[in-house]
Structure 1
């Protein structure tokens, strides 16, 4: 069998494979969802995660990737390399989004050897350990924006220092997914470093628009992709348990698109059912068709949105809000329509809610591909200019 000429990638904390999909689809044109990925420079050689079901989803969609379920704290780097058919220095990239747990007091970078591993060691530390021992050409680390908050400042600085001491010159930036064509106002921090020590330059946003913290924006850029645009042409069918029933079912159905429980306070036009700012923002939240979605939740409660802006009738003929259907969730994550997921509806929601939106991951990895010399920047720029000027392509 002919060997795959693409460069191998190690994926940590892979989940359902959002960042992995971006690795293998980095050559796809922006905001297109082809059933088959365009031939790009990278392939996922080995993916690992604590959750076997998420890896089953990944394997369905990236059958060429080897998977290794298990706790990363108990998985030696040598095992990752062996399962992936790699040696130290072979991997072009290490990618992944480790959950942000507290740093251990005795970090991997503070001593060359430890007689025993700290069972409470940070998963961020484990990411550093694999980078240190696998020596990839570059790494991409994705995490929640809260990692950069003042409450985590010491941990964040420690992480950056550890990666810098390995010679990777880490650069970081918080990116808004909607600024890269994702119909979702999701913020994530990315840390990128290169083994040669050259500073990574983050991609410039292609889109702009209002958000929670933005009231003015660059009007020369394309407008944010809206939920209605994302759903355009999508045929869906009813899913079991999609209706919002129970204690707040009637109230949820009365909330207009783009509003939440605050509609049912004295300041708005609904019922006087709640105190002002007495609930989380996502409580009874409905999508606004003319705006991007709010961040998709991984484990929403029964009355946590965003729900669709349209109501449907239940068996009694009463109007009810409905939850987003799986094909709609895929569109809001900019995943291909033929992406398949394992598990129950709750499992699927968790996997997608924890994933990296495809177009956001692609934007970062595409910029890295250019800067590492694996993609022709001039050709790509010309092609992308044509694509981004074609609105029909952007929302098809």
Structure 2
């Protein structure tokens, strides 16, 4: 049976994490869109998008017909919509500041989920991939998921809700995300295909062991990759950072850990304070807006370099980013790890081949 040609329309494309995933899954992206001008410039800087129509604009202001017109010019058998509405209203990190100061579902950005659904309902694609933070399932936000499911079911879609960890798909990063996957076809299996697992489970499962971060960022530690922004020397907590063993955080300097003259009190700081990578373990989540002493830091007691955080997010080597260091960190930190997204898109693609 000849494989059907499937293409994708990308919404909330950002720096292109899910778009790269789509290309990796053999589903060319015909259109990418974002409201952030730096993200748009990032996409246009990369050859991967030379045949994609890259649109800068707020999705609230972009008619669905814009995407219909683009699709009409392309040769394909079926198409899917991919994207994740900006997730800050639902981020687990938001719970740190307490429910009273979080806007949650009352945040105007939550309406971007409606815009995603609007495009899906108008275009009626053969399938879709929707990504967001896992805490979208928290009782505070659950109404959004329930309404999402109600709408896509009315549109005739079968769906899967997948709580995924990037580690299981070859990403060297502990990063949990929620995916809602939809198809007008038939899912061929219960869940997207995992490729990696904990080392002690490999013999039983036949999967590969989790990828350690030392393997992923090897080669970027030379002076040619130096960035002034990586410097921590002379900073408030530099000497403390140097004392934290690889794979630990500030709690290594507390009585809880048996530190002789405790400098901090366990559980009184955010867990990523002075968090340091170990080359022999996967990374923790790469964030979009880390504070000055928020990790993960390199085991050499410096901040991570752009090509390192891009590699941890499984962007292709040599992928270009436009903007200030702060902007680039935000773009990469907000992205869907490409290998994780690839597994999700392949799962939907498989359901459309018959």
Q: TM-score range by the shorter chain?
A: 0.7 to 0.9
1:249 is displaced (CA, Å) by: 1.8
Does residue 355 (structure 1) correspond to residue 335 (structure 2)? The answer is yes
Name the SS of the counterpart of 1:92 in structure 2: strand
> How many angstroms apart in 2 are the aligned matches of 1:121 and 1:190?
16
CA separation of 1:217 and 1:257: change in aligned 2, threshold 3 A: same
Is the CA contact (8 Å cut-off) linking 1:100 and 1:123 kept in structure 2?
Answer: no
> How many angstroms apart in 2 are the aligned matches of 1:260 and 1:271?
16
Does residue 370 (structure 1) correspond to residue 331 (structure 2)? The answer is no
Is the CA contact (8 Å cut-off) linking 1:171 and 1:199 kept in structure 2?
Answer: no
Which residue of structure 1 aligns with residue 210 of structure 2? 224
The range that moved more, 152-161 or 286-295, is 152-161
Is the CA contact (8 Å cut-off) linking 1:101 and 1:123 kept in structure 2?
Answer: no
CA separation of 1:124 and 1:181: change in aligned 2, threshold 3 A: same
Does residue 252 (structure 1) correspond to residue 251 (structure 2)? The answer is no
Residue deviations 1:128-172, cap 9 Å, x none? 110000111110011111111222222211111111111112211
Which residue of structure 1 aligns with residue 284 of structure 2? 294
Extract unaligned runs of 5+ from structure 1.
27-39, 104-118, 211-215, 311-320, 375-396
Is the CA contact (8 Å cut-off) linking 2:86 and 2:109 kept in structure 1?
Answer: no
Deviating above 6 A after TM superposition, structure 1's stretches of 4 or more consecutive aligned residues are: none
> TM-score under structure 2 normalisation?
0.85
Residue deviations 1:257-304, cap 9 Å, x none? 111111221222375221220111111100021110000010001101
CA separation of 1:100 and 1:122: change in aligned 2, threshold 3 A: farther
> How many angstroms apart in 2 are the aligned matches of 1:282 and 1:101?
18
The 5 Å alignment of 1:6-85 reads: 7-26=6-25, 40=26, 42-61=27-46, 62-83=49-70, 85=72
Which residue of structure 2 aligns with residue 132 of structure 1? 121
Aligned residues: 326
> How many angstroms apart in 1 are the aligned matches of 2:346 and 2:23?
11
> How many angstroms apart in 2 are the aligned matches of 1:172 and 1:366?
15
Q: Which structure is higher in RCO with an 8 Å CA cutoff and minimum separation 6?
A: 2
Cα RMSD between the aligned structures? Answer: 2.6
> How many angstroms apart in 1 are the aligned matches of 2:58 and 2:235?
38
Extract unaligned runs of 5+ from structure 2.
91-107
2:227 equivalent among 215, 235, 239: 239
Is the CA contact (8 Å cut-off) linking 1:185 and 1:294 kept in structure 2?
Answer: yes
Higher helix share: 2
Name the SS of the counterpart of 1:95 in structure 2: strand
Which residue of structure 1 aligns with residue 183 of structure 2? 194
Is the CA contact (8 Å cut-off) linking 1:193 and 1:199 kept in structure 2?
Answer: no
Is the CA contact (8 Å cut-off) linking 1:6 and 1:43 kept in structure 2?
Answer: no
